[in-house]
Chains A and B, each alone.
Chain A
Amino acid sequence: MAFLHAVSSGTSATKGVLKSKSLTPYLLLAPGLIWLVTFFIIPIFSLASTSTMVRPDGAQVGVYEQKLRFANYVDAFVANQDQYLRSFFYAALATLLALAIAYPLAYAIAFKSGKYRNILLVMVIAPFFTSFLLRTIAWTQILADSGPVVSTIQLLPFIDDLFRINNTSTAVVIGLAYNFLPFMTLPLYASLERIDPRTLEAAGDLYANGLTTFRKVTLPLSMPGVVAGTLLTFIPAAGDYVNAAILGNPSTKMIGNVIESRFFAVVDYPTAAALSFTLMATILILVTLYIRKSGTDELV
Chain B
Amino acid sequence: MANSKVSQDTGDLKLDRVSKHYGDFCAVDDLSLIVPDGSFFALLGPSGCGKTTTLRMIAGLEEPSAGTISIGETDITTQKSYRRNVNTVFQNYALFPHLTIFENIAFGLRRRGIKDVKTEVENALNLVEMGHLAERKPNQLSGGQQQRIAVARAIVNRPEVLLLDEPLGALDLKLRRQMQIELKRIQTEVGITFIHVTHDQEEAMTMADTIAVMNQGKIEQMGSATDLYEAPKTAFVANFLGQCNLIKGKITSRSGDKAIVTAKGLNFEVPLSRVATTNDSVFLGVRPEKLRLDDTGVNSIKNCVVTDRSFVGTSTQYMVRAPWDLELVVFEQNDEGLHDLRVGDTVSLEWDPEHTFALDGAGDINAGADLDDDE
Contact = CB atoms under 8 A, between A and B. Distances in A.
B281 interface: no
A208 B82 contact: yes
A221 B112 CA distance: 22
Interface stretch (A61-69, A93-101, A199-207, A251-259): A199-207
B90 A208 contact: no
B81 interface: yes
18 contacts: A196-B92, A198-B90, A199-B94, A201-B81, A201-B94, A202-B94, A203-B96, A205-B82, A205-B86, A205-B87, A205-B154, A206-B154, A207-B111, A207-B112, A217-B96, A221-B98, A300-B97, A300-B139
Contact of B98 (A198, A201, A220): A220
Contacts of B96: 199, 202-203, 217, 221
How big is the B interface, by class? 20 to 34
A204 B82 contact: yes
A205 B79 CA distance: 12
Interface in B69-113: 80-83, 86-88, 90-92, 94-98, 107-108, 111-112
B175 interface: no
Contact of B157 (A196, A207, A208, A212): A207
A75 B91 CA distance: 65
Interface residues of A, number: 19
Contacts of B59: 205
Interface SS majority for chain A: helix
A124 to B, nearest CB: 26
A298 interface: yes
Contacts of B157: 206-207
A220 B107 CA distance: 14
Nearest to A201: B61
A209 B82 CA distance: 6
Interface in B1-33: 2, 6
Contact of A298 (B81, B98, B112, B139): B98
Interface centre among A199, A206, A212, A220 (most CB of B within 10 A): A206
B61 to A, nearest CB: 6
A220 B98 CA distance: 7
